[in-house]
Amino acid sequence: MPVPSSDAATARTTLRDQVFARLRAAIVEGTLEPGERLHDAELCRWLGVSRTPVREAIARLELAGLVVVKPGSSTVVSPLDQRAARDAAQVAAAMHELATRSAAPHLTEEHLRAMTAANERFERALHDDDVDAAVAADDAFHGVPVEVAANRALHDTLDQVTPLLRRMERTRFASLTGRASVAQHARIVELLRAGDADEAGREARANWLTLT
């Protein structure tokens, strides 16, 4: 049998990841609601793909705690689980503290301006009750130190736990607790600009622990 080309392998990997990303986003955003039963055939038609990438995505979603699979019976979107979200928040808080501390010596003024701009978008989104925009801006803010830290294990851990939190954050960002994050974000930038990596890390951790 001829060995597949690297391009073909990359295409398969990309398709698998795209299907997983679209299903995960649909669950996090609430398009697929907690308790909703998922049918392979319907998902295949919706996504325009074969059953294989859908089943692979379902397996990954199960590992991420976003679906519950009963072999030979059903697959349903996981209910919102406060305890699982608290556990995930503690892990995310530790990872973002590490990212902030690690990135601090390498952050440029351009990075800090990008964080400030993201926080301004975050504040506007909260004012407009635009939860999707608030989540995107929050991702952009925290994503700067995560990217600069360049720690693959840290990145992969956050990729695993963050979707559980984002389901809860859609409620938080509509509350006064969410609005308090604007001030916390500004404080993080202020501490980073002053070169206080330890305190900035602690503030980043505290920001994520507001979910618990």
Angle at 40 between CA 50 and CA 70, to 5 degrees: 135
138 φ, ψ (degrees, to nearest 5) = -65, -40
> Residue 49 gets which letter from DSSP?
-
41 plus 109 within the same structural domain: no
Strand residue runs (E) in 78-176? none
Contacts of 179 (CB under 8 A, 6+ apart): 126
Angle at 63 between CA 18 and CA 178, to 5 degrees: 80
pLDDT tens digits for the chain (212 residues)?
443 444 444 444 688 999 999 999 999 988 999 999 999 999 999 999 999 999 999 999 999 889 999 887 789 999 988 888 889 999 999 999 999 999 999 999 999 999 999 999 999 998 898 888 988 999 999 999 999 999 999 999 999 999 988 887 776 665 555 678 999 999 999 999 999 999 999 999 999 998 76
194 plus 101 within the same structural domain: yes
67 plus 88 within the same structural domain: no
Quote the tokens at residue 175: 């509350």
Q: What is the CATH number of the domain that holds 18?
A: 1.10.10.10
Candidates 37, 64, 68; CA nearest to 165 is 64
1 within some domain: no
Distance (Å, rounded) from C-alpha 97 to C-alpha 19? 31
Angle at 7 between CA 3 and CA 12, to 5 degrees: 90
Number of structural domains found in the chain = 2
- Please give the mean pLDDT across all residues of the chain: 89
Distance (Å, rounded) from C-alpha 55 to C-alpha 43? 10
176 plus 88 within the same structural domain: yes
Contact criterion met (CB below 8 Å) for 94 and 106:
no
92 plus 165 within the same structural domain: yes
Which of these three, 59, 77, 95, is where a domain ends? 77
Q: What is the CATH number of the domain that holds 119?
A: 1.20.120.530
Q: What percent of the chain has pLDDT over 70?
A: 89
Location of structure tokens 């939190």: 165
